[in-house]
């Protein structure tokens, strides 16, 4: 990539995994040990994650992806054929796909125009006698209005599942995201604030439910290979239906070190976030709204902004950034904009006006804790130059 002075410059990625030498050493040690699938390091990772969230180790289950965790959460909540699950119109497709995969019907609620999270009043407007659960998404790392959402759930005897793919560090009124609902799903994909390259975590209020889902996550077997090799029982029995959702020790070895640095990394992300907010405050952009306070915390997972003139200007901005060697993306085309969901659910994008408007205008720019001052300045200068700033 060449800049305007024809000098070679590296492309600034949208995200970059913050791997340290100690992470590589830990993975290498796991590989040399001869035990590389689910085992002691996976349990160590679960315990560390539970400690970070302030919950018991028995309430967490490491799995192969956030998608797997969402599937198990829905099953754990008793969602199945004939049920409806309300979720946000602005999310990644996996949130909605897993509702379909358990045989239920996704019912979309619109977002509010300030937080870009699911609008509690929109939830109220689509509750029916078939509604079984509410599946919320803490978009970009900003907490949903969990007080109002839990109030709605209690009033209608509904299960609550939190999609925390963006929200490892998120808090609402001082309480950790993922500890409000009956279940929660976290993502450790390569782009996430805490990564295991691929992986996820299921959190559940009821340890007995998590124990049942642990069995389901590995073919329905009552004991995994590590347990069979470390006691005198040796065998196993299949006691339920099941899936292949376990996380390997190789992946967990990355995560153990990541948890130790998560607050340090968040501080770095917050500093970059502040630089963007200050640098773009005078531009014709819709920037993320400030939090309300009261103990709320944003995970600063992705920095999204709204190009007010819509699709044509957004494409022009993204082309401009590409030419400057700055990556960008769209988070997200709303669920009702996708042909599959339009056909499957009988919906149109314009049925959800706030999500539709935001989906037409959103742009995500680079944000990761190892960005240096030169990279941050390049991103800022590239955005400002597009608007003549």
Domain ranges of the chain: 21-260, 262-386
What's this model's pTM, rounded to 2 decimal places?
A: 0.95
Question: Which of these ranges, 57-66, 79-88, 194-203, 302-311, has the smallest mean pLDDT?
Answer: 302-311
* The one catalytic residue among 53, 192, 205, 361: 192
The per-residue b/e assignment along 184-200, b for 16 or more CB within 10 angstroms, e otherwise, is bbbbbbebbbbbbebbb
**Given its phi and psi angles, is residue 34 left (phi above 0), alpha (psi -120 to 50 degrees) or beta?**
left
- For residue 139, report the phi and psi dihedrals to the nearest 5 degrees: -65, 130
Q: Has 361 been annotated as catalytic?
A: no
Distance CA 334, CA 332 (A): 6
Whether 215 has a pLDDT exceeding 80, the answer reads yes
Average pLDDT over every residue of 294-318:
93
In the prediction, which pLDDT does 292 show?
84
Model confidence at 308, pLDDT cuts 50, 70, 90, reads confident
Average pLDDT over every residue of 378-383:
98
Distance CA 149, CA 224 (A): 37
Please report, for residues 12, 35, 236, the alpha-carbon distance to residue 231 in angstroms, rounded to integers and kept in the order given. 50, 16, 12
Model confidence at 309, pLDDT cuts 50, 70, 90, reads confident
Whether 228 has a pLDDT exceeding 70, the answer reads no
Question: Which of these ranges, 114-118, 230-234, 366-370, has the smallest mean pLDDT?
Answer: 230-234
Average pLDDT over every residue of 316-340:
97
DSSP state of 218: B
Share the mean pLDDT of the chain: 95
Average pLDDT over every residue of 292-318:
92
Burial of residue 336, with CB atoms counted within 10 A of its CB: 0-12 exposed, 13-18 middle, 19 or more buried: buried
Distance CA 243, CA 214 (A): 10
pLDDT digits (tens, 9 = 90+) for 25-43: 999 999 999 999 999 999 9
In the prediction, which pLDDT does 222 show?
86
Number of residues that this document lists for the chain: 389
Spatial CA neighbour of 166 closest among 88, 238, 227, 75: 88
In the prediction, which pLDDT does 3 show?
56
Distance CA 88, CA 134 (A): 9
In CATH, the number for domain 262-386 is 3.90.1150.10
Distance CA 59, CA 50 (A): 7
Could you tell me the two tokens for 72?
């198990």
Whether 126 has a pLDDT exceeding 60, the answer reads yes
The domain made up of 21-260 has a fold known as: 3.40.640
The three state secondary structure string of 306-333 is EECCCHHHHHHHHHHHHHCCECCECCCC
Looking at the chain, list the stretches that DSSP marks H as alpha helix, in order from N- to C-terminal side. 21-33, 40-53, 66-76, 93-101, 120-125, 146-156, 207-216, 225-228, 249-260, 262-280, 311-323, 339-345, 353-361, 373-386
């Amino acid at each position: 990539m060449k800049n305007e002075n024809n000098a070679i410059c590296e492309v600034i990625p949208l995200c970059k995994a913050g791997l340290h030498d100690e992470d590589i050493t830990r993975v290498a040690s796991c590989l040399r040990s001869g035990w590389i699938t689910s085992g002691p390091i996976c349990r160590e990772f679960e315990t560390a994650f539970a400690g970070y969230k302030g919950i018991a180790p028995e309430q967490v289950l490491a799995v192969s992806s956030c998608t797997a965790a969402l599937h198990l959460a829905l099953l754990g909540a008793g969602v199945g054929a004939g049920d409806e699950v309300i979720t946000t119109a602005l999310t990644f497709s996996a949130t909605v796909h897993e509702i379909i995969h358990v045989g239920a019907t996704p019912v979309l609620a619109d977002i509010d125009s300030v937080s870009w999270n699911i609008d509690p009043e929109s939830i109220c407007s689509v509750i029916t006698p078939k509604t079984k659960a509410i599946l919320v998404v803490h978009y970009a790392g900003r907490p949903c209005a969990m007080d109002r959402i839990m109030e709605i759930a209690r009033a209608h005897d509904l299960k609550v599942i939190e999609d925390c793919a963006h929200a490892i560090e998120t808090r609402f009124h001082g309480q950790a995201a993922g500890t409000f609902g009956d279940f929660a799903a976290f993502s450790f994909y390569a782009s996430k604030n805490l990564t295991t390259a691929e992986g996820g975590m299921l959190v559940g209020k009821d340890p007995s439910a998590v124990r049942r889902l642990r069995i389901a996550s590995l073919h329905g077997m009552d004991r995994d290979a590590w347990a069979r090799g470390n006691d005198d029982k040796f065998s196993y029995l299949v006691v339920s239906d099941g899936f292949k959702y376990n996380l390997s020790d190789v992946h967990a070895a990355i995560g153990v070190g990541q948890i130790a640095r998560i607050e340090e990394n968040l501080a770095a992300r917050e500093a970059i976030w502040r630089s963007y907010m200050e640098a773009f405050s005078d531009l014709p952009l819709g920037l993320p709204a400030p939090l309300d306070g009261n103990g709320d915390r944003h995970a600063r997972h992705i920095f999204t902004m709204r190009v007010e003139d819509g699709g044509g200007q957004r494409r022009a901005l993204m082309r401009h950034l590409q030419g400057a060697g700055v990556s960008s993306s769209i988070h997200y085309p709303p669920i009702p904009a996708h042909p599959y969901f339009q056909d499957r659910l009988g919906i149109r994008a314009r049925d959800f006006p706030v999500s539709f408007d935001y989906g037409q205008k959103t742009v995500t720019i680079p944000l990761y804790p190892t960005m240096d001052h030169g990279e941050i300045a390049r991103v800022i200068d590239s955005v400002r130059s597009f608007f003549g700033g």
